[in-house]
Chains A and B, each alone.
Chain A
Amino acid sequence: MKKMIDARGLSCPQPVLMALEAMRLDNGELTVLVDTDTARENVGRAVASQGWRLMTDVPEDGGFRLVARKE
């Protein structure tokens, strides 16, 4: 299952909470859209903490698109 989270414009820790919840419910692939470097770093750490791997981390529309996959 591929899941997409749009966390743009949300302040910390909401992007992380949303990403953790999605990873808990889903065993496949997760895409997270964020718009600050802080959220990007925080989501990256949350992904690693759950044993997932960050596959993509690219700028998009003034923010970032992160794609993580379960190892």
Chain B
Amino acid sequence: MVKNVFASRWGVIAVGAVIGVLAALLQKLGNPGNMGICVACFERDIAGALGLHRAEIVQYLRPEILGLALGSAVAALATKEFRPRAGSAPIIRFVLGMLAMIGALVFLGCPWRAALRLAGGDGNAIVGLCGLTFGVWVGALFLRRGFSLGRNQSAPNMVGAIFPLIIVGLLALAFIFPQIPDQGKNDVLWYSLKGPGATHAPFFVSLCFALVIGVLAQRSRFCTMGALRDLLLFGNTHLLGGLLALICAALATNLVLGQFHPGFVGQPVAHAQHLWNFAGMTLAGLAFALAGGCPGRQLFLAGEGDGDAAIFVLGMIVGAAVSHNFALASSPAGIGAHGMAAVLIGVALCLAIGFTMSGRRA
């Protein structure tokens, strides 16, 4: 069998480092502060671009998300790892995707962005990463009790191809209806005129960087949640190397580019309500752990034919719409009007899923 060098210890470390450097460069090239790549924020922006929510400052069909998924699909096809599969508790995965997004938008970032915020000097990221670790730890307890969403099944090719095809369709929309200067809408796509949604690197640069990351991450199985889970569950540091490399490489690049600004207050697209930064990421971490991957990993799995991971991604996009429509999402001014209630209900729901689906082997 051909050995996959990217899945070696140094392979995943190299991939993490590449992601860290490219993310910091994307910020330099125009993406929002400490948001070179944020899978949750960028899926939220896509929800806005499609008109699923009405938050005018976060509407942009982010090419990074499209590139990550397509890169993974290309890598999986090229290495004959594309394997259509589905049928492992899809509705639960959809809800976990929604809850993960709701939690991430209370903190204002997915685990990738938490790492990038830390590398940019945002002290609130430490609180968020602690919350993430706690959530993953709770998820690991359920896994140890035998938590399972059940087996998936091999599926017809179309089941695996439909998600990459949706991504191709979104890419086509971005080409057909590009942003018109000073216009908030071009036919079917919404665009932000101010705020994070109006702040972005050139389209093709973002797309190309993300394609590279998608290929590398599919090969290396890079996963930020898995990094913490494997450490807590069986002391394995394989994936952790990738996460730490991402942080170190982004930090080094930020220092070189003058993008490192240490502090807690006034950080870009962030708030300093520690309890809710912690609790939001606890909810996200628990949902990621129960669903078996961070949002990046879910995109890569969806790209290689995993229909259940695709359902999780769609759940995240719907969760973003709900977050903004119901005032659950935070802003630099603080948490949303119903953010607290959403986190508490979300954690309760995750615990209910954890308890009721544990204790038996599928």
Contact = CB atoms under 8 A, between A and B. Distances in A.
B321 interface: no
A10 B236 contact: no
B4 A17 contact: no
Interface string A22-39: 000000000000011110
B1 A57 contact: yes
B234 A9 contact: no
B226 A12 contact: yes
B233 A17 contact: yes
Between A12, A45, A57, the greatest number of chain B beta carbons within 10 A of the residue's beta carbon is seen for: A12
Given A9-B85, A10-B362, A20 B152 contact: no
B362 A13 contact: no
Given A20-B234, A41-B4, A49-B236, A14 B83 contact: no
Contacts, number: 56
Interface string B81-119: 101010010000000000000000000000000000000
B81 A37 contact: yes
Contact of A13 (B149, B153, B229, B308): B229
Contact of B143 (A13, A38, A41, A49): A13
A11 B152 contact: yes
Contacts of A36: 81, 83
Nearest to A9: B151
B143 A14 contact: yes
B234 A46 contact: yes
Contacts of B151: 8-10
6 contacts: A9-B88, A9-B151, A9-B362, A13-B143, A13-B234, A35-B83
